[in-house]
Amino acid sequence: MDYDVIIIGSGPAGCSAAHFLADSGLKIAMIERLDRDGFVKYHKICGGGVGEKAFADLPLKDDEIRNRIEGIGLSFPDGKHISIRSKGYIIDRPKFLDRIRKECIDKGVRIMKDSVIDVFEKDGEYTVTGVSGLWHSCKYIIGADGVYSVVRRSLFNSSPKECIPVTEYIVREDPPGDLEFTVGPKYRGGYGWRFPCGGDLCTGAVNHREEMECISKGSRFIPTGGVGDIVKGNAMLIGDSAAMANPISYGGLRTAILSGRMAAKAVIDGNPEELAKWWKGEKYSDPRFMELHRYISELTEEDYNKLSAPLRYKNFWLDGFIACLTHPKNGWIYFGCLFAFRHGW
């Protein structure tokens, strides 16, 4: 066997897994399809907004933080605006990933450039084949290869419940102080966002095409709602390959980083099922969030206005509490959204 563990993909999920495995004494390889320029370009397409809890065990360096965030603003179609205190960052994602990759190489993790096209298992050994024609074998395989995961397609034969189209623009305009979201029927359960990403404004839309003049633009899909099983034998899926993004805020960085850590722990403990158990207990694997996602995807302008009617104090908690008391039938919507924006970015 060539390696104890092979990680496919070196995005936030793969890098997190490699980081937490690097000191384990196991022989680790990470395979990434993109060269340096392609990697930076791909990973730059991201709002970069992440709640501070994601970095509890994997601290950011100062130069990887574009902005510190103290709160979130949410605007409704009728102009109502509410605020929620929630700390986090806008990160410089390519810089953060670059540093983790370098640290992993220094600790003996082998990073190879290849695009994996197939993975198969025979007698408890996994064989990974790339377009280069090279193949490698391993005991544990971690699929961190994003929305179109080859590991998932080869070994799990499953797909994400839903893939949400997202377009991002970098615009030279005065950015807001914190994260600003606008909801409404045109986003069909998604939102428009304005993030302060350093000197520039990072803006975009989830579930909506919005053209605007910009310095740069990027579009991709965010998978959400899970994929069913994420562990099969010694094969594991993490991050977007397992569609772990929050079904309401669509933030996927936090779960990508956390799932990487949990996969590493499961390998070190010799028990991949630990990863499945963790995901089952994670709030955003709860199918009720997907139910809420579908429900808000159908809301009309009138529905939004009805929902925003009890929100008077511009404070998410106070407004949410009063709204739940006065409109108990909508309590699950207020509570689910409040929870998702408070904890899930």
Within the chain, what is the greatest distance between any pair of CA atoms?
64
Q: How far is the CB of 313 from ligand FAD (least distance, A)?
A: 27
Question: How many angstroms separate the CA atoms of 110 and 17, rounded?
Answer: 13
Cα dihedral 170/172/177/183 (nearest 10): -50
Q: b/e map of 120-133 (b: 16 or more CB within 10 Å)?
A: eeeeeebbbbbeee
**Which are the contacts of 159, defined by CB distance < 8 A and separation ≥ 6?**
152, 227
Q: Which is nearer to ligand FAD, 293 or 311 (CB)?
A: 293
Rounded to a whole number of angstroms, the CA Rg of the chain reads 20
Which residues lie near ligand FAD (CB under 6 A)?
A: 8-14, 31-34, 42, 45-50, 115-116, 144-146, 150, 166, 168, 204, 218, 220, 222, 239-241, 245, 251-254, 256, 345
In the complex, minimum distance from the CB of residue 202 to ligand FAD, in angstroms, rounded to a whole number: 8
Residue 217 or 232: the one with the smaller Cβ distance to ligand FAD is 217
What's the closest the beta carbon of residue 331 comes to ligand FAD, in angstroms? 26
Closest residue by beta carbon to ligand FAD: 252
| Tokens encoding 122 | 């025979």
CB of 26 to ligand FAD, least distance (A): 20
| Residue whose CB is less far from ligand FAD, 36 or 314 | 36
Q: At its nearest, how many Å lie between ligand FAD and the CB of residue 52?
A: 12
Cβ closest to ligand FAD, residue 236 vs residue 245: 245
Coil, helix or strand for 318? Answer: helix
CB closer to ligand FAD, 178 vs 319 = 178
